Structure 1
């Protein structure tokens, strides 16, 4: 089995194109990346703070049959056809150029496992603004996005967001890395994806799985040694990626997003990275571990973010004062950057965000306070999401850049209340 996997990885890596030398000379950083204490550094030993955003879509709202999840939902949004969003409305170059305008140096690029074996050719409408992508599969378009991003000088973090191509994050078969597939299948998919881009040193990270959480009956755990042990599964997958597929990658491990039944009177919580205090990873290759966490104002340390069914009386992050919020953030995740501890590692807040049209003063205050905390702690980050859509100024207001059906862009600086905080965060 391992020999077959290695052969597949080798073949894939040979097929994936490498970045051009001309572009490499124009960029101020050199991959691969590694870690030193709480910092990520490049091959020259210079700090490389991840100033990132999520270019979502390839984790998919399209499942091959044309069934589309709710297009009003900010978290996955509009009809992506299971490819990075916006390619029907704007050219790849324009989209990536907007990322650079935002002051980013890296992009988290989600994918679904079923993208790997999906041989269906995408309809032309899915890439209407990019005719050179016609006739390609989802994986081939993902390849093109990786290549274009890295050719532009941006670093790419591969993110296994879902097992199946649908919106995250309900009770949908995507709760755990092994909800809709076996551990072995999940690991082999990662060997394939990691090996596919081995020769591109601007593909810098493997973000192993998104928002590991409870399904209907069973919780994930951190160190119990059973089939739901996220600590053990992430350790095993990270070691295999480094040993068998791509030693260049950072291994990015998110904490547990949810355990318990979100009903008052029953135990429930967002453990996030708190278990790391007692049990932290030691990967086969030192200097490759990064921890990750997500924070949104509508969730909380004991609040799933649900409204109606599943909503509890626990406070959301937006309900805390600035001082209370900061104490909770330190306890749940930011402690991992303390120097000299067994668990010391870089922390990447790989998702946070707020809506352009948000009018709730508590939500706005949370966003401002959270950004200030990121700035004060010099924390690596990735905003969710970068790309959205709008029609007559209305649409996916969570995106920092939004395109209408005619390809007209609504930018962050177009009367957006988030702009000042964003510029504080990116330093420009």
Structure 2
């Protein structure tokens, strides 16, 4: 095995709109999401195609410095022995349980100097996300809030001594579920995502006060207007990061870059204005496009135009980001086919090279730090 690549100076912290390393230097999250552990096979996808160490090395060589790893409450609580077929290229993991495979993947990423953000993606192990999948809130009937909090404490305890784990993204894409629509504030424990996020964040910090706490907006992560009047307040200072999501279908009929800029500025870009009661870093923890055509990446209309525009917005303010997704192939979930090409993936179906030079190049261009505190 190659010599390990040093991790950045840890722990990370925040100051105003910036994420900083332990030396007070900016650490810009240039991340990619590696999904699968949150779905029906309970392991990050691709382990049947390539060794985890080779995948981790590929992530680093493509220029990313961090990986967003989704997990489900079902994966954590059930923790089953995984089937041999889903880890075929990692035979040393045969007979291991889901969390042991998750451990091994994080260890491989850490060996490459990559930091990890744990993302509680869903409660029930499955593909995400819709208004009808039942996973839109931070709780379900099978996994009530008490379980969500306990599982977060359990995950953080498990990785308390793994320095590469630097952040906890409390919940993915809050949205309506089972007739209940989450809101920002109001005090109703069944609907108030702001209050739940404070409870969740403080539960995590009670176990590991060095972690960053990542709080997504409402409406599939698109709406962070709530903190303008009601910011998140955590028990430990300099730990809060907001997370926004953006995709082409969030902007039907997008006519100009200025339209996108105005929309995103109102929704979450305003949080980057320094010296305000609400100021905090924003990490765009999901955005992505297809790699099947040049028009997916750059075009004068449609998805390619949106993708060019969101990248311009990220560049102008030098915003932290995570691309969806790393995956060369799909994980097993509703409406998905295990091993099928992931057309939104950075990697090809062998998990050994970029699927699209155009897509990889577009992402490389937004990696460099251009603004400092």
What is the TM-score of this pair, normalised by structure 1? 0.78
- Structure 2: how far apart are the matches of 1:380 and 1:356? 22
Name which of structure 1's ranges 155-164 and 364-373 shifts more when overlaid on structure 2: 364-373
Q: Is 1:411 the equivalent of 2:341?
A: no
Preserved contact between residue 90 and residue 403 of structure 1 (Cα < 8 Å): no
RMSD: 2.0
1:326 to 234, 258, 261: 261
Residue 147 of structure 1, CA deviation: 1.5
Residue 293 of structure 1, CA deviation: 0.6
- Structure 2: how far apart are the matches of 1:212 and 1:185? 17
Preserved contact between residue 198 and residue 248 of structure 1 (Cα < 8 Å): no
1:172 to 113, 123, 133: 133
Q: 1:28 to 1:251 in 2, by over 3 A?
A: closer
- Structure 2 match to 1:199: 161
Moved segments of 4+, more than 6 Å: none
Alpha-carbon displacement from aligned partner over 1:2-45 (angstroms, at most 9, x marks no partner): xxxxxxxxxxxxxxxxxxxx84xx52621111101111111111
2:341 to 381, 387, 395: 395
The residue correspondences of 1:27-66 to structure 2 (distance < 5 A) are 27=6, 29-60=8-39, 62=40
- Structure 1 match to 2:181: 219
- Structure 2 match to 1:87: 47
- Structure 2: how far apart are the matches of 1:204 and 1:395? 30
Preserved contact between residue 201 and residue 248 of structure 1 (Cα < 8 Å): no
Task: Describe the SS at the equivalent of 1:403.
Answer: coil
Q: Is 1:238 the equivalent of 2:178?
A: no
- Structure 2: how far apart are the matches of 1:328 and 1:341? 20
Residue 100 of structure 1, CA deviation: 0.7
1:424 to 350, 353, 365: 365
Q: 1:161 to 1:362 in 2, by over 3 A?
A: same
Preserved contact between residue 7 and residue 115 of structure 2 (Cα < 8 Å): no
Q: 1:251 to 1:28 in 2, by over 3 A?
A: closer
Q: Which runs of 5+ in 2 are unaligned?
A: 331-339
- Structure 2: how far apart are the matches of 1:96 and 1:197? 18
Residue 228 of structure 1, CA deviation: 1.3
- Structure 2: how far apart are the matches of 1:295 and 1:396? 18
The residue correspondences of 1:317-396 to structure 2 (distance < 5 A) are 319-358=254-293, 359=295, 361-389=301-329, 395-396=341-342
Aligned residues, how many?
A: 351
Residue 357 of structure 1, CA deviation: 1.3
Determine which structure has more spread, i.e. the larger CA radius of gyration: 1
- Structure 2 match to 1:71: none
Preserved contact between residue 184 and residue 226 of structure 2 (Cα < 8 Å): yes
Alpha-carbon displacement from aligned partner over 1:348-400 (angstroms, at most 9, x marks no partner): 0000000001446421111011111101111000000011239xxx8222100
Q: Is 1:150 the equivalent of 2:110?
A: yes
Task: Describe the SS at the equivalent of 1:386.
Answer: coil
- Structure 2: how far apart are the matches of 1:276 and 1:147? 35
Residue 420 of structure 1, CA deviation: 3.4
Preserved contact between residue 7 and residue 114 of structure 2 (Cα < 8 Å): no
Residue 215 of structure 1, CA deviation: 1.7
Residue 417 of structure 1, CA deviation: 3.1
Task: Describe the SS at the equivalent of 2:348.
Answer: strand
- Structure 1: how far apart are the matches of 2:187 and 2:153? 22
What is the TM-score of this pair, normalised by structure 2? 0.90
- Structure 1 match to 2:71: 111
Alpha-carbon displacement from aligned partner over 1:280-322 (angstroms, at most 9, x marks no partner): 011100000000010001123xxxxxxxxxxxxxxx2x62311
Q: 1:185 to 1:132 in 2, by over 3 A?
A: same
- Structure 2: how far apart are the matches of 1:271 and 1:225? 22
- Structure 1 match to 2:217: 255
